[in-house]
Amino acid sequence: MDEKTSLKFQLISAWCGPAFLITFVVFWGVIGQNLPNPSPDLSATDLAARYIANLNDIRLGFIMSLIIIVFYMPWSALLAAQMARIEGKFPVMAYLQLLGGGLTVMVVSFSAFFWVTAAFRPERDPVLIQLLTDLGWLCIDLQYACTTLQMVAAAMVGLAERSKTPLFPRWACFLTIWCGLSFLPASLTGVLKTGPFAWDGMLSYYIPYFCWLCWFTVASLYMIKDVRRRMRESDAQGDTMAVTHGATA
């Protein structure tokens, strides 16, 4: 494959980031009725009623989310390639980031798929609907560590890079680490049903998810910048080649 085509694929992968972000917020957050998300304290009957009252939105939101989530994959793959370029012969952190990115897709997918299943037969026993909803939220809220690891790996490589045109500025690397750590309170969603640490609370939901989106936006911007810079370099090299060839012709 020639360099120009490869760079084109890279740029598309980088733009998968913003595409994922916007569509995810729209389908998972807004249409899927997760802003605000249902409280773990809701009774099974109230929860089932919520599904029935918003049935089409919930189905559309999460079925689409299950498709859109895969845009996270080319983005993670590009980041892995960019990290591997920095790491050199043993791109361990790049692999770790890739693993983390892939597992994040799985964790978010499974959670949305539980909710689609809950909405599949809304006439079911409300207790079962509640179980499926619980499965979805605990799946996504307790298994944040693979995402944290993905983020920390990227930050570590970003910090260690010593080039004139680094992939990530230092402040972005520290932002990444801090955002990754902001997920920690979400572990309490496994125990608490009310208060700021429950899965509908400020400290386990709104702040961590917002932090994840902030990191994702910042990282995407710098990844796109990096690909475009390398595209310009490649073009410039192509031009100099053409000039020298032209001169000798």
Partner 1 sequence: MSTTQVIPPPLARHLPGDRDVWIFIFAELLMFGAFFVAYLVHRQTSVDLYNASQQTLDRDLGVINTIFLITSSWLAVSAVASARANRSREIVSRLAGAITLALAFIVVKYFEYTTKFAEGINLTTNDFYMFYFALTMIHLAHVMAGTVILSVLLLNAKEEKYHRQNLSGLEAGTAYWHLVDLLWIFLFPLLYLLR
Site residues (CB under 8 A) for partner 1?
170-171, 173-175, 177-178, 182, 184-185, 188, 191-192, 195-197, 202-203, 207
> Is 27 or 197 the residue whose CB approaches partner 1 more closely?
197
> Is 132 or 173 the residue whose CB approaches partner 1 more closely?
173
Minimum CB distance to partner 1, residue 138 (Å): 15
Q: Where are the alpha helices (DSSP H) in 3-121?
A: 3-24, 44-53, 55-68, 72-87, 92-120
Contacts of residue 77, defined as CB under 8 A and 6 or more positions apart, other chains included, come to: 13, 98, 101
Minimum CB distance to partner 1, residue 240 (Å): 37
> Is 96 or 177 the residue whose CB approaches partner 1 more closely?
177
> Is 114 or 144 the residue whose CB approaches partner 1 more closely?
144
Amino acid code (one letter) for 175: L
> Is 25 or 159 the residue whose CB approaches partner 1 more closely?
159
Distance, in Å, from the CA atom of 12 to the CA atom of 228, rounded to the nearest integer, reads: 11
Minimum CB distance to partner 1, residue 222 (Å): 15
Both tokens of 166, joined, read: 């680094």
Nearest to 167 by CA among 220, 213, 215, 217: 220
User: Between helices 55-68 and 92-120, what is the axis angle to 10°?
Assistant: 160
> Is 97 or 189 the residue whose CB approaches partner 1 more closely?
189
Contact indicator for 100, 68 with CB cutoff of 8 Å: no
Distance, in Å, from the CA atom of 249 to the CA atom of 5, rounded to the nearest integer, reads: 27
> Is 191 or 247 the residue whose CB approaches partner 1 more closely?
191
Extended strands (E) in the chain: none
Minimum CB distance to partner 1, residue 168 (Å): 11
Distance, in Å, from the CA atom of 218 to the CA atom of 213, rounded to the nearest integer, reads: 9
Minimum CB distance to partner 1, residue 237 (Å): 33
Contact indicator for 24, 65 with CB cutoff of 8 Å: yes
Both tokens of 116, joined, read: 């689609």
Minimum CB distance to partner 1, residue 189 (Å): 11
Minimum CB distance to partner 1, residue 177 (Å): 7
